């Protein structure tokens, strides 16, 4: 953009981003083309000549950058009224320490121009991701509660199973089975149930994750790394929940177990 393009009397010009160029000018160069804002042609709104194409800038965590155009601020009122203006400053010191100096500089140029919403870039970024961060935190808490409930459930099922199979464990021990084999037997049962649950859960997740795809950013809903990590966590939780029932099964006294029947 040349210096003369910023004058009010100069022909209206515009710079568009790559997404807008691909959307409205596919398979051709947008340079030299003319655009007009509005749903219908309006003689009071000037046509803007496309004089440049710039890279996309994401305005949030959206998967795709939106179509955007950049208009010289001195020509903006002719094509689109401007009610506010944002100024970005880079400082070598603490940003908020120059806020008063900034207000004083603007007041010197125009006493009627207020300066509001002075904040750092870190605060800007934090504000833009506040809602996604809250949703992620909420989902993480719910997932943690679900994992805890699953661990308690596995422990309860395996403890009940060991209690019901006390005589079986006693017979196995009496016939020469070692505590290690009994331990592996109980853990094997727990792993079998866990794998069945994981298969059913994976199929259900594959069908339902499309409803939460909008919450995922640059991560496919069928990401294999995430699936492997989740599977490893579930197996670890299942082993931890089954450890005490399996350990109790190895301590069954064959004589007492048989006598109790």
- What is the per-residue pLDDT for 45? 79
CA proximity to 66, closest of 100, 23, 33, 36: 23
156 pLDDT exceeds 80? yes
pLDDT band at 174 (very low <50, low <70, confident <90, very high): confident
Angle between the N-to-C axes of helices 166-174 and 130-164, in degrees from 0 to 180, rounded to the nearest 10: 60
Share of the chain above pLDDT 70, in %: 90
8 pLDDT exceeds 80? no
> Mean per-residue pLDDT for 85-107?
86
- What is the per-residue pLDDT for 39? 73
212 pLDDT exceeds 90? no
Instruction: Encode pLDDT of 225-258 as tens digits.
Output: 888 888 899 899 999 999 998 888 888 777 765 6
């Amino acid at each position: 953009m040349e210096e003369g393009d910023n004058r009010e009397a100069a022909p209206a010009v515009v710079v568009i981003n790559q997404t807008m160029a691909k959307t409205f000018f596919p398979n051709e160069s947008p340079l030299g083309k003319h655009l007009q804002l509005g749903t219908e042609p309006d003689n009071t709104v000037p046509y803007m000549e496309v004089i440049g194409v710039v890279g996309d800038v994401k305005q949030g965590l959206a998967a795709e950058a939106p179509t955007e155009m950049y208009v010289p601020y001195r020509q903006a009122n002719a094509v689109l009224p401007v009610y506010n203006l944002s100024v970005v400053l880079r400082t070598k010191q603490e940003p908020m320490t120059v806020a008063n100096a900034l207000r004083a500089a603007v007041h010197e140029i125009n006493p009627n121009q207020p300066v509001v919403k002075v904040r750092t870039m870190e605060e800007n970024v934090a504000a833009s991701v506040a809602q996604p961060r809250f949703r992620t935190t909420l989902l993480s808490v719910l997932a943690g509660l679900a994992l805890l409930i699953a661990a308690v459930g596995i422990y309860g099922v395996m403890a009940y199973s060991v209690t019901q199979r006390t005589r079986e464990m006693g017979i196995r021990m009496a016939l020469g089975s070692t505590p290690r084999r009994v331990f592996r037997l109980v853990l094997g049962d727990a792993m079998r149930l866990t794998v069945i649950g994981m298969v059913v859960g994976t199929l259900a997740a594959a069908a339902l994750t499309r409803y939460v795809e909008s919450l995922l950013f640059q991560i496919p809903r069928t990401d294999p790394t995430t699936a492997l990590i989740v599977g490893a966590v579930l197996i670890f939780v299942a082993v931890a929940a089954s450890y005490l029932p399996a350990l109790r099964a190895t301590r069954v006294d064959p004589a007492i177990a048989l006598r109790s029947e």
